[in-house]
Structure 1
Amino acid sequence: MKYYYEEHEQSYQEMKANQIKAWDQYHEPGKYTFDHFMMRPFLEKAMEFVQLQSKQSRVFEYGCGTGAGACFLAERGFTVDAIDISPTAIELAKSMAEARQLAIYYKNQDLLEMDRLEQEYDLILDNYCLQSIVTDQDRAKLFAVIRSGLKKSGYYVIATAMFNDDRVYGRDSYYSQDTGMVYDRIASPEDYPDAMFMENSWWLPTRRHLKANELRDELIQAGFSIVLQDNGNVICRLND
């Protein structure tokens, strides 16, 4: 299976069992809720910055989880399509949208299994998904799919976890200073084509924690221009 699937599906199953409504709330209980999610302050700032006409604008969110970002935008009049690799996340997202009487088109789908987006969007949203897309090949594929569906006048808005000097990686984790990749030790590689062997152990890529200049360079090389960046919070457009 893909390295990013199991952790997320298991987490959303736990959230469902414990009636936890949002990914941020699951990882930092008491600090975040469905409506007060981690990206919300930056997303509010981004909406003021881009000045899109919501009634005429269509949004696509990948890695939507239970739909906190998607609902935030739908409540403001945007037409929203959203996908996630976890079927449980999509089940929860649909129930959250229904409870709010929001018409959001959710689909259980892996962006990296797509060749291109089916239509063009005024805004594409990444609400803390990018750090879980780890390998160079997968990130290049993700950015190519984004480019296929972002209007020339559109915006790509990202919030992603970044390198932090204070972050502690345990003995069963390995952080590569050269690539920003984080690996977790696993017992057996049979189910994971992306597993790698180093230091007499098998490791699975789990996160990509870049520095601000590294993320900026990566996005520029991928065909985007940076409109605004505050560490891992970024607004991009397609290069002319």
Structure 2
Amino acid sequence: MQENIHNYEDLLEMLDSFLREPTHFWDEFFSDRDKSVPIFVNAPDENLVSYVETGRISAGKVLELGCGPGRNSIYLAEQGFEVDAVDLSKTSLDWAKERADERNLPINFLHQNIFDFTSEQVQYDFIYDSGCFHHIAPHRRMSYIDIIDNSLKDEGYFGITCFLQGGRLGGSDISDWEVYRTGSLMGGLGYTKERLKNVFRSLEAIEIRKMIDIVDSDNLFGASDLLTGLFQKR
């Protein structure tokens, strides 16, 4: 590989090499299914369930970015959504497929980096991200927003769950510039309501709130150290 920068994509890839966790990091992360990791529970996010149960979003075509072991994709498929689910880790997708197969759910799992994903003229009624965005470095934020803008239908919804700034699960309180001074996301960037609203200012903010704590439940996942947001494309 020649370390030359000829275009914008070369620049992004160079910055990725300093900051992005490699694929094998995530494969190893998901390899031990017995680890005490909150998101390993096979239950959907409480905010996602609230969007469906209150009728804010209704069954349609959905894209999940960074689906992990598939808990939210599985819930959406059970509610009648047509689901495409993307993740970088084959290990996590294998786990997700096993879970989906146990329930005979036809989810389209895609083994890809989200920045290599193209919707090929297909647009989605709903796009959801639970736990991917806070691992996105600042230089890739614009690319991430482009994915939302290009893949979401007019009047469609975008939902997100990410680290709350200073939360116990993660959420580093550092500036974008500090990411590059230190060469690290410090485990994942933290967001406030104001910062999240500003990042996705091209969309209309419907609801931004802390996630509700859910204790000892096999049906819902919730942790108040996470921030949730629901936006609409106008």
TM over 0.5: yes
Name the CA shift for 1:19/1:134 in 2 (closer, same or farther; >3 Å): same
| Counterpart selection for 1:109 from 103, 109, 112 | 112
Match of 1:233 in 2: 228
Match of 2:127 in 1: 124
SS at match of 1:204: coil
CA deviations 1:35-65 (Å, max 9, x no partner) are: 2x5xx211111113444442xx111001000
Where structure 1 has 5 or more consecutive residues not aligned to the other structure, the ranges are 170-174, 184-195
TM-score by length of 1: 0.73
Name the CA shift for 1:63/1:26 in 2 (closer, same or farther; >3 Å): farther
How far did residue 4 of structure 1 move? 3.4
- Residues 52 and 58 in structure 2, CA contact (< 8 A), matched pair in contact too: no
| Counterpart selection for 2:37 from 27, 33, 44 | 27
CA deviations 1:102-125 (Å, max 9, x no partner) are: 1100011111124x4221111100
Match of 1:46 in 2: 51
How far did residue 237 of structure 1 move? 0.9
- Superposition map of 1:49-60 within 5 A: 49-54=54-59, 57-60=60-63
How far did residue 134 of structure 1 move? 2.1
How far did residue 128 of structure 1 move? 1.6
| C-alpha distance in structure 2 between counterparts of 1:167 and 1:69, whole Å | 19
| C-alpha distance in structure 2 between counterparts of 1:9 and 1:26, whole Å | 20
- The one-letter code of the counterpart of 1:45 is S
| Counterpart selection for 1:13 from 16, 28, 32 | 28
How far did residue 176 of structure 1 move? 5.5
Name the CA shift for 1:117/1:26 in 2 (closer, same or farther; >3 Å): farther
How far did residue 234 of structure 1 move? 0.7
CA deviations 1:57-82 (Å, max 9, x no partner) are: 11100100010110010111111000
Name the CA shift for 1:50/1:229 in 2 (closer, same or farther; >3 Å): farther
1:83 aligns with 2:83: no
Name the CA shift for 1:129/1:180 in 2 (closer, same or farther; >3 Å): farther
1:215 aligns with 2:196: yes
Match of 1:4 in 2: 20
- Residues 197 and 205 in structure 2, CA contact (< 8 A), matched pair in contact too: yes
CA deviations 1:191-224 (Å, max 9, x no partner) are: xxxxx5x4xxx6333422122211111111xx11
Farther off after superposition, 66-75 or 157-166: 157-166
Where structure 2 has 5 or more consecutive residues not aligned to the other structure, the ranges are 1-15, 211-226
Name the count of aligned residue pairs: 200
| C-alpha distance in structure 2 between counterparts of 1:63 and 1:77, whole Å | 20
| C-alpha distance in structure 2 between counterparts of 1:127 and 1:147, whole Å | 18
Name the CA shift for 1:53/1:148 in 2 (closer, same or farther; >3 Å): same
| C-alpha distance in structure 2 between counterparts of 1:90 and 1:41, whole Å | 22
TM-score by length of 2: 0.74
Percent of residue pairs bearing the same amino acid type: 20
Q: By percentage of residues, which structure has more strand?
A: 1
| C-alpha distance in structure 1 between counterparts of 2:168 and 2:129, whole Å | 24
**CA RMSD, 1 decimal:** 2.7
- Residues 5 and 85 in structure 1, CA contact (< 8 A), matched pair in contact too: no
SS at match of 2:175: coil
Q: Which has the higher contact order (CA 8 A, sep 6+)?
A: 2
- Residues 87 and 113 in structure 2, CA contact (< 8 A), matched pair in contact too: yes
| C-alpha distance in structure 2 between counterparts of 1:72 and 1:58, whole Å | 14
| C-alpha distance in structure 2 between counterparts of 1:47 and 1:168, whole Å | 27
- Residues 131 and 160 in structure 1, CA contact (< 8 A), matched pair in contact too: yes
